[in-house]
Structure 1
Amino acid sequence: MKKVLFDEIHTLEKQKFLKEKMQQVSNEIHSKFTKLEKVNNCPVCQSKSIHQYTECFGYEMDICDECNHIFTNPFPSYEALDYYYNSDLKDFENKFFMDSFENRIPIFDRRILEIEKYLGRDSQLLDVGSAIGIFIEALFRKNNPFKVTACDLNQKACLYLQDTYKGLEVLNENIYSLSKPDSYFDGISLWDTVEHLTDPDRFLIKIKDLLKPGGYFFFSTPNTFSFEWGVMETDHVQLLPPGHVNLYNSKNIKIILEKTGFQVVDIQTLNASLDISYILKNYIKDSYSPLEKFILNRLKDDSIFFESFNDYLVQTKSAGNMLVIARKE
């Protein structure tokens, strides 16, 4: 399959202006809204052994010593989040998603192959947060093997989906307002959203309620137990509060799923080429050790080394974005 590379997924405009836009909206939020109280325990494993990890855009980020969960502490208020998601930043995000639309399709091609291992043809699949429809497009290019319902809060996005994909059922609703249909869902998909949720327990319980017994939940989220996080640490591009407020890893994601009635079936990290290209572009130091020079030069110039290291990251689940497959117990 086609390599997924950093510059193709993250447009140059995004790379140039993201921090500036994030800082601008964060400054506005800090001036308009009162901070909540800090919590004293990890929101995943409840351990009280937490300490500050970094500060980003004026938000403190803590890390749990027990399960390595990284989270904004305190979490932003609902009013602050509402302001954030209705700011100009959202239009900025939609633009770079549209500009990189075609280059993002291979990400979902791989995910669809995994989903097809668990859902038969014509299974009922609810896609939550369909936005501009990159996943929907990838499905339709494969003759849409499922009976898909798209759900999104944004009215413009829903109108676009209805006009573009004939026969697609589209719901312009908040997932919390959805009632269980007569024939409810064999599977639910959600892409790069869990890290945005301040109350993931409530969300997961709602997902479980919408699934048939034995139904599957497919979602992606950053994996902080990964090559790219190990290298970039507090300089990582995914540290984006108040957008990203909970950053999980391939071990502690099981805790929150099992706590809400899911069994973790599998975790895959499928797009390691994205990690490698991210590191090659962003790992910049004043000087490098001989070992660093050797590895970086081989990754740049030796396709065999690149592919071998890519396969290693996939096989060891060490790439920076994980596809989680969970089953309703």
Structure 2
Amino acid sequence: MTTTEPAPATAGKAAERARRVAARRPGYRAELADGTGRFFAPRRTDCPWCGSARLRVRLRTTDLLQHKPGGFVLDECQDCAHVFQNPRLTAEGLEFYYRDFYDGLGEQRLGGVFGTRTTAYRSRARSVAPHTTAPGRWLDVGTGHGHFCETAREVFPDTAFDGLDLSEGVELAERNGRLAHGYRGTLPALAPGLAGRYEVVSMFHYLEHSTDPDRELAAAREVLRPGGLLLIEVPDPQSRYARLLGRWWLPWLQPQHLHLMPAANLRRRLGELGFTVLLEQHGEPHDPVDLLAACWLLLDAVAPREDAPWLPGDPPGRLRRALRGAVFLAGAPALLLAALLDRLAARSAGRTGLSNAYRLLARRE
């Protein structure tokens, strides 16, 4: 075989993607013929976390990753600092904007990204170790393709890891042996059938996606045994990077992130639900990608679009594809510098307020 053997395989993948995009295009265009208004609920006039009417606009943005049509607003409560999407997506809107992100056209790309984060997964599992010896059953809510559970088994080899998710990835994870059992659905709906079954429940970058975080927390309490542990990791809207980078801060992730709560708010709510917070971490859960992601999003915004079935116009031709490649090639030095700066800043992210996430571990009393 020659050294050019991978080229046909790459071309084959591109051709297969083009066929899948073309097959979806008529459906998306028919769906968008009447605009995006029906994807949004009426605008709220009060904070969904504390009920205050003192709201201000924190951010206006668009879908910077998939480039699906629509504009999105994040409001901030001036009393409790809760940040939330307003107006929020309806069930129909959530289905539209999630489609082809974690599954479908995006399944292979996202599955590959999540599969490489073993260091972060190990850190999450080890944060529980000082507080439990060998949990019998662990439920990972929002498990995606089950990659965390696969890695956490190295830390807790005798634990049975189950996963729950809305996407078909949870079924693939069970078939691939990453999960003992995969549940497809929502935690509040499935909680009565799982009541008191688990010693540990984890929610990694899940709560910000939920339409009602309070219901999710109450459901987590329901499936935990008395003395069980709830491990939560979410983006930190009070990160200095959130203000420094504005709409280019990746954890805003519109339109998917519906609620972003400060750590103090979540600690207080857990206490009200009968939990005792055992651990709060800021530096450890920080993902050093803020500057790199912002740089990539900027380049992607100015470059010609990749082919996608929800975009108007004809599929990109050879010239547009070449121009897109040229933009990213020209931006490669900036991407490399941003990645280096991310790594340098990560050493003190927890102390300097740059951490883009925080982690809480709480015990159900």
Specify if TM > 0.5.
yes
Which of 274, 285, 291 does residue 289 from structure 2 map onto? 274
RMSD: 3.4
Deviation at 1:27, TM superposition (A): 6.6
Partner amino acid, structure 1, of 2:208:
E
In the alignment, is residue 179 of structure 1 matched against residue 179 of structure 2?
A: no
* Rounded Cα–Cα distance in structure 2 between residues aligned with 1:29 and 1:201: 34
Whole-Å separation in 1 of the counterparts to 2:227 and 2:36:
47
Q: Deviations over 1:56-94 (max 9, x none)?
A: 231222111122221111222223223333x22333443
User: 8 Å contact 2:146–2:170 — kept in the other structure?
Assistant: no
Q: 1:105 to 1:69 in 2, by over 3 A?
A: same
The corresponding residue for 1:77 is 90
Aligned residues: 291
Contact 1:268–1:317, Cα closer than 8 Å, also in 2 = no
127, 133, 136: which is aligned to 1:114?
127
Query: Which protein has the larger Cα radius of gyration, Structure 1 or Structure 2?
Result: 2
Distance 1:275 1:116, change over 3 A: farther
C-alpha spacing 1:166/1:192, structure 2 compared with 1 (3 Å): closer
Which of residues 251, 259, 278 is equivalent to 1:238? 251
Structure 1 position 280, deviation (Å): 7.5
CA–CA separation in structure 2 for the residues paired with 1:80 and 1:166: 30
Residues 272, 60 of structure 1: alpha-carbon distance in 2 compared, 3 angstrom cutoff: closer
Q: Taking structure 1 as the reference length, what is the TM-score of the superposition?
A: 0.75
* 8 A Cα contact 1:29 1:80, kept in partner: no
Distance 2:115 2:201 in 1: 23
Give runs of aligned pairs for residues 94-243 of structure 1, distance below 5 A: 94-142=107-155, 144-154=157-167, 156-165=168-177, 168-175=180-187, 176-181=189-194, 184-243=197-256
**1:205 Cα deviation (Å)?**
0.9
Q: What's the offset of the Cα at 1:143?
A: 5.8
Asked if 1 retains the 8 angstrom alpha-carbon contact of 2:199 and 2:229, the reply is yes
Letter of the aligned partner of 1:105 in structure 2? T
Match of 1:323 in 2: 359
Structure 1 equivalent of residue 271 of structure 2: 258
Which amino acid is 2:350 matched to?
V
Q: Per-residue displacement from partner, 1:281-304 (whole Å, max 9, x unpaired)?
A: 7799xxxxxxxxxxxx9x959x9x
Identify unmatched segments of 5+ residues in structure 2: 1-27, 63-70, 300-333
1:46 aligns with 2:61: no
Q: Is the 8 A contact 1:29 1:83 kept in 2?
A: no
Moved more, 225-234 or 27-36: 27-36
3-state DSSP class of the match of 2:230?
strand
SS at match of 2:348: helix
**1:37 paired to 2:33:** no
Contact 2:146 2:179 in 1 (8 A): no
Q: Would the aligned equivalents of 1:42 and 1:64 in 2 still touch at CA under 8 Å?
A: yes
Residue 145 to residue 276, structure 1, CA distance change in 2 (3 Å):
farther
| CA distance, structure 2, for counterparts of residue 29 and residue 258 of structure 1 | 45
Give the SS at the match of 1:252: helix
Match of 1:13 in 2: none
Q: Distance in 1 between matches of 2:115 and 2:259?
A: 28
How much has 1:272 moved relative to structure 2? 5.1
- Gaps of at least 5 residues in structure 1 are 1-23, 285-296
Name the counterpart of 2:330.
none
User: Counterpart of 2:116 in 1: which secondary structure?
Assistant: helix
Q: Distance in 1 between matches of 2:271 and 2:363?
A: 10
Counterpart contact for 2:135–2:200, Cα < 8 Å? no
Alpha-carbon distance change, 260 to 164 in structure 1, aligned in 2, over 3 angstroms = same
Task: Output the amino acid matched with 2:58.
Answer: Y
Deviations 1:80-134 (A, max 9, x none): 223333x223334433322224431111111111021222214321112222111
